[in-house]
Structure 1
């Protein structure tokens, strides 16, 4: 059987490597930062596993590596045949893949890596607990896809005298196969990587985002559906060519787009040299070949395209983003440099009025931010549709190193957005201790207040419960611990109102005024009584709060507040501390009432009885 994966053959039957989609998928995986890391771990695990069986493997991606992997596969296959019962059907499917990569349509070193991986995972599935079935389902699906799609892969091959449209449809199918093989390799590598972790740590949270096997299965199924869709289009075109008006109605990508996206520079160069496609042609999402190459970080492809006469370096997609936007956002540092050298507009804005610097800062892409900041003509303080600068966005996303870099490069540290908020207030809002310290060191106004309600960073941290951030703020020499908002409430007021006991105690320990009155003439002590928080009440009293204080208008005391709420423990404590029990409310629906009368009217019998006994004792 000929090797379908390679697509075409040269004279003498030698495979044409440019059409080996398994190899292309393998190459793509190696160029992904996370993919490269996990693939290296997968390789080491396979080499160790092979060594246990007396098989020495050097480079897995070579022909020799494939032969050694086949030996490993055969060794596992022999031992797995003893399995029976629940796994008979699964085992049968997995064993079929051995033939596919040995002499069948997927006889390629990268395909052998995928198959060796699923054999390894299946052979020790007994070791797994909660993830056992999900991983087994993943392995089974990979095996089935490899077997199912190997035969249909022949539809990728062009035939003599075929129309240009049909050839392009087959190219679309080839692209889908490449994406699927990429996902097969990545998922298999993740499975093998999981096995490399010491057994006692295997189920710890060490692979966040890498062990959602249900999501992996869904991704693989989606990739296979793409192939089924492409096959349907080809079948429809072959049976009714006139009905297929556009060969790329589904994705809108031509061959140049495809090759630029996956970084096959030789093919990109060939297509450019032969004028096969307009270099500025757009997909249905209005991406150009340059944008796609920039997204993937394919520097050589970008350099080839940038040398094309008439290339539109400022072409924008549906989101208004140029190649520079995309490269900066994805941290494609070298591509950003290349685009900057070619004169890309540094300050171009997308539909949200964000520049490449905005996107890089928001994503925490420190290297890309540095390249952009060092470029001549960059504007550091441009605003997006919300009036936010790059420094604002970095603050909102807790990207302290980016904030420090932007400040060092001259970005305005106290620039206000459309809501008149500074980066320092944003940092307090999200509770980032590191960011608050960074901004303070950069000279930010630490007592800055919002426009509408005059909230400071301390108000936010006190109200939202950001205790560590609040402690950082209180360590700053010039912090105003008693700063008031439009309601004349201090951070201590807000902490008490939200029942933030530890934060209220911290503020008291840092010297916060305990008897400050807000617009309604209420103090933190009265608010604490209203909330029934005895711990805060005790702390405020210890710091000098007047136990007999009353509110401004109605003249409610802390005892009135506690009695109405039926807080018997608090009532007893207040009485024992000497609070006056005969104080009467001055106005409102409770006018003239004592705390006892208020409790009795409200059905708080235990409180009412206790206060009556206190009155009788005098």
Structure 2
């Protein structure tokens, strides 16, 4: 019956049923019970739903404010995902470290950048969050060159223009920091599957001095990625950069022009030729 009550407690939190939560706690349900699958506790669930009243009720009944889920996430990290400044403040007062991270290296500051939570981002910055911290990951992941990303890269990849502006203009984010694969925020922006804000983000990063000749996975440069995206405006903007290496090849030996021809992108191929791309780059005909 007690085990059943523990599961009911988590359900009651998810259903935001405060009276039932109170009743189950008073009846002896385990406030720190963790679900088998992800290690979620009642407190983790309450934080995810931004229910400050339920969070305070659980804490009064002895909920552990620093207990980790199976992925290492604490209630503090979940408060950043929810974007709740009040809960972030509360968990800092309960012993959370502003730069603590889960088992994949995500800090609260990174989570706020990933989810576009501007108020949480600004609050964490004021409380000493490390803006340029690179994601520390498990050894097996690091051997595969994973990890090393910063909050700026996360914001660029997720298309959060406002977050990006704040990071660059107000918080001194390093525009050319690279992850463990050698990719900067510009590469991350161009790898994004969402094209709606990629142009604005690319312009913003270039205006702040992003390296246009950096290489990502398989040796791909921003110019090559822009061609692969079939995005004429991006190709044009990159070609306006003073130090662009137009004839750089990826690890398959392909230049931006060869890729444009292979992808039948007539306007992009014309633009590259006009800007002096070498036609001695493979079987263009």
TM over 0.5: yes
- Out of 1, 14, 18, the position equivalent to 1:298 is 18
Q: 1:366 to 1:491 in 2, by over 3 A?
A: same
1:323 to 32, 42, 48: 42
Alpha-carbon contact 2:5-2:24 (below 8 Å) kept: no
Candidates 226, 237, 257, aligned match of 1:495:
226
Alignment correspondent of 1:504: 235
- Do 1:514 and 1:540's aligned partners in 2 also have CA atoms closer than 8 Å? no
Q: Which has the larger radius of gyration?
A: 1
Q: Which position in structure 1 is the counterpart of 2:143? A: none
CA distance in 2, matches of 1:541, 1:335: 63
Contact kept? 1:462, 1:491, Cα under 8 Å = yes
> For the structure 1 residues 282 and 506, does the alpha-carbon distance in structure 2 shift closer, same or farther, using more than 3 Å as the test?
same
Matched, 1:444 2:173: yes
1:467 aligns with 2:188: no
Match of 1:534 among 250, 263, 266: 266
**Counterpart in 2 of 1:399?**
117
For residues 389 and 549 of structure 1, do their structure 2 counterparts lie closer, same or farther at Cα, with a shift above 3 Å needed? Answer: same
Match of 1:408 among 126, 136, 139: 126
TM superposition score normalised by structure 2: 0.76
CA distance in 1 between counterparts of 2:264 and 2:205 reads: 28
Structure-1 separation of matches of 2:54 and 2:257: 60
1:415/1:406 CA distance change after superposition, 3 Å: farther
Count of residues paired in the alignment: 268
In terms of fraction of residues, the more helix-rich structure is 1
Aligned CA distance change for structure 1 residues 495 and 399 (closer, same or farther; 3 Å): same
Indicate if the aligned counterparts of 1:380 and 1:390 stay in contact, CA closer than 8 A: yes
Q: Which has the higher contact order (CA 8 A, sep 6+)?
A: 2
Give the structure-1-normalised TM-score: 0.38
**For the structure 1 residues 329 and 487, does the alpha-carbon distance in structure 2 shift closer, same or farther, using more than 3 Å as the test?**
closer
Q: Can you give the 5+ residue segments of structure 1 that lack an aligned partner in the other structure?
A: 1-251, 253-280, 564-618
Structure 1 residues 165-244: aligned runs within 5 Å: none
Please state whether the residue corresponding to 1:368 is helix, strand or coil: helix
- The 3-state SS of whatever aligns with 2:69 is coil
Q: Cα–Cα, structure 1 residues 531 and 315, in superposed 2: closer, same or farther, change >3 Å?
A: closer
1:445 and 1:512 map into 2 onto residues whose CA distance is: 20
Q: In 2 relative to 1, CA 331–426 (structure 1 residues): closer, same or farther, beyond 3 Å?
A: same
Q: Tell me by how many angstroms 1:458 deviates.
A: 1.1
Tell me which residue corresponds to 2:141: none
Please say if residues 213 and 245 of structure 2, whose CA atoms lie closer than 8 Å, have aligned partners that are also in contact.
no
Residue 521 of structure 1 deviates from its aligned partner by 5.3
Provide closer, same or farther for how the CA distance between residues 322 and 487 of structure 1 changes in structure 2, counting only shifts above 3 A. closer
1:491 deviation in Å? 0.4
Q: CA deviation at 1:323?
A: 3.4
Offset, 1:504: 0.7
Q: What is the Cα deviation at residue 447 of structure 1? A: 1.6
1:515 alignment partner, SS class: coil
Q: Structure 1 residues 529, 323: closer, same or farther in 2, change over 3 A?
A: closer
- 1:286 alignment partner, SS class: helix
